[in-house]
């Protein structure tokens, strides 16, 4: 599979997306995929821990992502802020995250902390749009967003 020119990758409800991401990260033929826009929507089966490991490997395999969209239901942690900022912080312009802990409790979001938002603002200087789950918008969180450099638009994905 040669996908050298692929710039946009969207994965919606794919069975075993971890295997697909590993295949394009370490192809038999051609170079690893280095997309500019990546979106994944995935609901992981309860009790499995497949997507987070594959997603981490994929996001760490290249630099230069401009848009990242994560819509995931899993019991396990989302990709770390440090992983996102280390590999894509210089180029990332749009980040949308909706990350739920359980499909049985669809309104149970894994929320980012004030420190997470502060790290994003410190390392993603080109970030123009940020969409995250905020339940509710905390007065403690507001200063971290408001005082962050270059945020043109904040979108709540509640």
In the Cβ-directed half-sphere of 50, how many Cα atoms lie within 13 Å?
16
Q: How far apart are CA 66 and CA 35, in angstroms?
A: 9
The fraction of the chain above a pLDDT of 90, given in percent, is 25
Report the range out of 49-53, 78-82, 104-108, 132-136 with the highest average pLDDT: 78-82
- Percent of the residues in the chain that have a pLDDT greater than 70, as a whole number: 66
Q: What is the pTM of this model?
A: 0.77
Q: Is the pLDDT of residue 32 over 70?
A: yes
Q: What is the mean pLDDT of residues 123-134?
A: 84
Residue 67 has pLDDT above 70, yes or no: yes
Domain ranges of the chain: 8-156
Instruction: Identify which of 50, 49, 84 has the alpha carbon closest to the alpha carbon of residue 70.
Output: 84
* Secondary structure (DSSP) of 49-90: --HHHHHHHHHHT-----EEEEEEE-SSPPPPHHHHHHHHTT
With tokens 């821990």, the residue in question is 49
pLDDT exceeds 70 at position 33: yes
Q: Which residue has the higher pLDDT, 15 or 38?
A: 38
Q: What are the Cα distances from residue 68, in Å, to 8, 21, 132? A: 10, 15, 12
Is residue 23 scored above 80 in pLDDT?
Answer: yes
Q: What is the pLDDT of residue 63?
A: 92
pLDDT at 9: 93
Record: fold of 8-156 = 3.80.10
Decide which of 156 and 83 is more confident. 83
Query: In angstroms, rounded to a whole number, what is the distance separating the alpha carbons of residues 9 and 119?
Result: 26
Query: Residue with structure tokens 């075993």?
Result: 16
Using one digit for the tens of pLDDT, what is the confidence trace for 112-123?
Answer: 677 888 888 889
């Amino acid at each position: 599979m040669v996908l050298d020119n692929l710039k946009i990758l969207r994965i919606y409800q794919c069975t075993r997306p971890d295997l697909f991401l590993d295949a394009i990260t370490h192809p038999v033929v051609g170079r690893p995929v280095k997309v500019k826009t990546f979106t994944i929507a995935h609901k992981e089966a309860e009790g499995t821990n497949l997507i987070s490991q594959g997603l981490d490997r994929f996001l760490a395999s290249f630099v230069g992502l401009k848009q990242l969209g994560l819509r995931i239901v899993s019991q396990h942690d989302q990709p770390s802020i440090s992983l996102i900022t280390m590999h894509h912080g210089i180029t990332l312009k749009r980040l949308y995250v909706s990350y739920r802990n359980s499909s049985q409790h669809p309104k149970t979001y894994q929320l980012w902390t004030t420190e997470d938002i502060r790290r994003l603002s410190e390392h993603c200087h080109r970030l123009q749009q940020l969409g995250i789950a905020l339940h509710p918008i905390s007065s403690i969180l507001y200063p971290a967003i408001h005082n962050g450099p270059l945020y043109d638009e904040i979108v709540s994905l509640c």
